[in-house]
Amino acid sequence: MKISKLSPNFEVSNIRNTVAFYTEHFGFKLMMAVPESQDGVDETFAENKEYVYAMMQKDNVEFMFQRTDTFKNDVIFSKDLSIGATVSFYMDIEALKDFYTTLKNKNLQVTELKTTWYGMQEFYVKDLNGYILGFAEKAG
């Protein structure tokens, strides 16, 4: 078996709000969205439609966001689970300190920037759905 990529699919309550959050705070770009009718794919949001799915990308990272009702239908193991995470999505980035300062100034839920015993500088952010994103850069 060969694995070529990992694209987390997050259960979210509102696609538009989640896409706006990831665009504004992390610089992700909307790649595609599936309307509630599930009869096609849109590259941008239409004002008169609600959405059940969106795929976003920044550099080599791709996230998928799926509205709760369709997510619970597609991923049956999630039926009795709440939105959020007991896992972090850890990303190596460049210019960590500048990015950290930018997020701190936006009053998001952000941990302190620290240097770890394994040689990384890192911090964590909680998104609007309760998911935990880790950002790191090699220390030194």
Domain shared by 108 and 73, yes or no: no
Domain shared by 41 and 18, yes or no: yes
Query: What is the CA 100 to chain-centroid distance, rounded?
Result: 17
Own/partner long-range contacts of 120-129 (Cβ < 8 Å, ≥24 apart): 121/96, 121/97, 122/90, 122/96, 123/96, 124/88, 125/25, 127/18, 127/21, 127/22, 128/17, 128/18, 128/21, 129/10, 129/11, 129/12, 129/13, 129/18, 129/83, 129/84
CATH of the domain at 42: 3.30.720
Q: How far apart are CA 87 and CA 70, in angstroms?
A: 22
Give the model's pLDDT for residue 29.
98
Q: Tens digits of per-residue pLDDT, 11-23? A: 999 999 999 999 9
Domain shared by 59 and 73, yes or no: yes
Domain shared by 43 and 94, yes or no: no
CATH of the domain at 108: 3.10.180.10
How many domains are there within the chain? Answer: 2
Final residue belonging to a domain, choices 82, 97, 119: 82
Q: Tens digits of per-residue pLDDT, 84-106? A: 888 999 999 999 999 999 999 99
Q: How far apart are CA 32 and CA 94, in angstroms?
A: 26
Whole-model pTM: value is 0.93
Domain shared by 70 and 90, yes or no: no
Task: Tell me the two tokens of residue 62.
Answer: 């791709």
- 131 pLDDT band (50/70/90 cuts)? very high
- 135 pLDDT band (50/70/90 cuts)? very high
Q: Is the pLDDT of residue 1 over 90?
A: no
Give the range of the structural domain holding residue 113, as residue numbers without chain letter.
84-140
Domain shared by 66 and 100, yes or no: no
